[in-house]
């Protein structure tokens, strides 16, 4: 079997930063440190940090007074920030800077007197965080059909922002529907969809032309990973989302010559290796990597974590 690895795939700069924040917090403060929500949507990442002493909670009332609390890469509402302050927690914010950028943009549109529409998926933590970062009402739109249901005057001053991990193609359709229906609408086009999401989607679209089966390494609750699997399916390729090699099923590969593998922005490269090992167990494989865009994005850590460890101990 031929295996072609997507390029780029796997960890984005926001995920690298978020994991590094938990690691450094553990080094500086010792265990336990508390993380609100999965730091990124991947069980292997979470289990690894848990073994090092991180404790994962869904709400801050599970965190003892004065403890170190880390917000996940997906961001939080302002009520969560205020709650952390009221509880005297030592907060480290691992919200991806590209998610924070959307919060700032949304607040600017509202300050300019516009009603804000958020294009995104209901219930996702990034969407809950973004809604809670913007004062006043934010209208959530999940599909083109929902654009038709918005109860707003056609000439109302409106703006939109989007979740960072959406399908570029679906989002374009929703934006076009908004622009067709309303006359005073501004927004970033699809640029709120982050560089990592756009690059991984473009790579999978290319890869899908070459393969019989696509495996996306990622978690079922990972929005960006699900979008990659959908692109494979929409391209007519049998596409499966797998957390690791244990989920790979031999029957997917009957009469299959070429398998594509990509990984969501929160999926560790070790899990890609683990999936390749599962394929090797079925027979010989020849692994190559597609030609693809090189990513050089890096984000700074919070200043609290930049001090050398020795200096803090003095």
Distance CA 163, CA 160 (A): 10
Residue with tokens 């609408």: 185
Q: Give me the residue whose beta carbon is nearest to ligand 10D.
A: 222
Residue of the chain from 68, 73, 117, 243 that contacts ligand SF4 (CB under 6 A): 73
Residue of the chain from 130, 167, 171, 223 that contacts ligand 10D (CB under 6 A): 223
Q: Is 209 exposed, middle or buried (0-12, 13-18, 19+ CB in 10 A)?
A: exposed
- Residue 129 contacts which entry, ligand SF4, ligand 10D, none (Cβ below 5-8 A, type-dependent): none
- How far CA 252 is from CA of 30, 58, 87, 217, 273, in Å, comes to 45, 36, 51, 15, 18
Residue of the chain from 165, 199, 222, 225 that contacts ligand SF4 (CB under 6 A): 165
Which tokens sit at 288?
């190559």
Give me the phi and psi of 78, to 5 degrees please.
Answer: -65, -30
- How far CA 6 is from CA of 10, 79, 136, 297, in Å, comes to 9, 39, 41, 18
Question: Binding site for isopentenyl diphosphate, residues?
Answer: 41, 74, 124, 222-224, 266
Stretch that binds ligand 10D, among 233-241, 249-257, 259-267, 278-286 (CB under 6 A): 259-267
Distance CA 141, CA 301 (A): 33
**Triad 52, 266, 290: Cα angle to 5°:** 130
Catalytic position from the list 38, 58, 59, 126: 126
Number of residues that bind ligand 10D (CB under 6 A): 18
Distance CA 225, CA 215 (A): 11
Residue of the chain from 190, 222, 239, 274 that contacts ligand 10D (CB under 6 A): 222
Distance CA 210, CA 177 (A): 33
Stretch that binds ligand 10D, among 175-183, 223-231, 254-262, 293-301 (CB under 6 A): 223-231
Residue of the chain from 5, 6, 15, 228 that contacts ligand SF4 (CB under 6 A): 15
Question: Binding site, residues?
Answer: 12, 41, 74, 96, 124, 164, 194, 222-224, 266
Question: Least distance (Å) from ligand 10D to the CB of residue 13?
Answer: 10
Instruction: Say whether residue 99 binds ligand 10D (CB under 6 A).
Output: yes
Question: Least distance (Å) from ligand 10D to the CB of residue 179?
Answer: 25
Instruction: Say whether residue 120 binds ligand 10D (CB under 6 A).
Output: no
- How far CA 239 is from CA of 204, 216, 233, 283, in Å, comes to 11, 7, 6, 20
Question: Least distance (Å) from ligand 10D to the CB of residue 124?
Answer: 6
126 flagged as catalytic: yes
- CB distance 211 to 258 below 8 Å: yes
Question: Binding site for dimethylallyl diphosphate, residues?
Answer: 41, 74, 124, 222-224, 266
Instruction: Say whether residue 22 binds ligand SF4 (CB under 6 A).
Output: no
Residue 260, CB half-sphere, CA atoms under 13 Å: how many?
A: 31
The helix or strand, by DSSP H or E, that contains position 305, with its residue range, turns out to be: none
Contact positions toward ligand SF4, by CB under 6 A? Answer: 12-15, 73, 96, 98-99, 164-165, 194, 196-197, 224, 265
Contact positions toward ligand 10D, by CB under 6 A? Answer: 14-15, 40-41, 73-74, 96, 99, 126, 164-165, 222-225, 264-266
Which sequence positions are flagged as catalytic? 126
């Amino acid at each position: 079997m031929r295996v072609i690895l997507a390029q780029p795939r796997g960890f984005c700069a926001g995920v690298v930063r978020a994991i590094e924040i938990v690691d450094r917090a553990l080094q500086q403060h010792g265990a336990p440190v508390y993380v609100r929500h999965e730091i990124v949507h991947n069980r292997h990442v979470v289990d690894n940090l848990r073994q090092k002493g991180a404790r994962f909670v869904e709400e801050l009332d599970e965190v003892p007074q004065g403890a170190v609390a880390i917000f996940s890469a997906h961001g939080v509402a302002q009520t969560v920030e205020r709650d952390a302050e009221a509880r005297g927690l030592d907060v480290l914010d691992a919200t991806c800077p590209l998610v924070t950028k959307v919060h700032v943009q949304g607040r600017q549109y509202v300050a300019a007197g516009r009603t804000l529409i958020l294009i995104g998926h209901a219930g996702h933590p990034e969407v809950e965080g973004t809604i809670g970062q913007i004062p006043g009402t934010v209208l959530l739109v999940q599909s083109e059909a929902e654009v038709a249901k918005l109860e707003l005057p056609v000439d109302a001053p409106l703006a939109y922002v989007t979740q960072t991990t959406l399908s570029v193609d679906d989002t374009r359709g929703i934006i076009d529907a908004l622009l067709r229906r309303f006359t005073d609408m501004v927004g970033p086009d699809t640029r709120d969809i982050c560089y990592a999401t756009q690059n991984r989607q473009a790579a999978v679209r290319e890869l899908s032309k070459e393969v019989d089966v696509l495996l996306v390494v990622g978690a079922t609750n990972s929005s960006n990973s699900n979008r990659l699997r959908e692109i494979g399916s929409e391209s007519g390729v049998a596409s499966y989302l797998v957390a690791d090699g244990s989920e790979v099923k031999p029957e997917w590969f009957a009469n299959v010559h070429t398998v594509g593998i990509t990984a969501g922005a929160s999926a560790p490269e070790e899990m890609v290796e683990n999936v390749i090992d599962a394929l090797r167990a079925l027979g010989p494989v020849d692994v190559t990597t597609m030609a693809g865009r090189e990513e050089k994005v890096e984000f700074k850590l919070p200043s609290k974590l930049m001090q050398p460890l020795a200096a803090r101990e003095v």
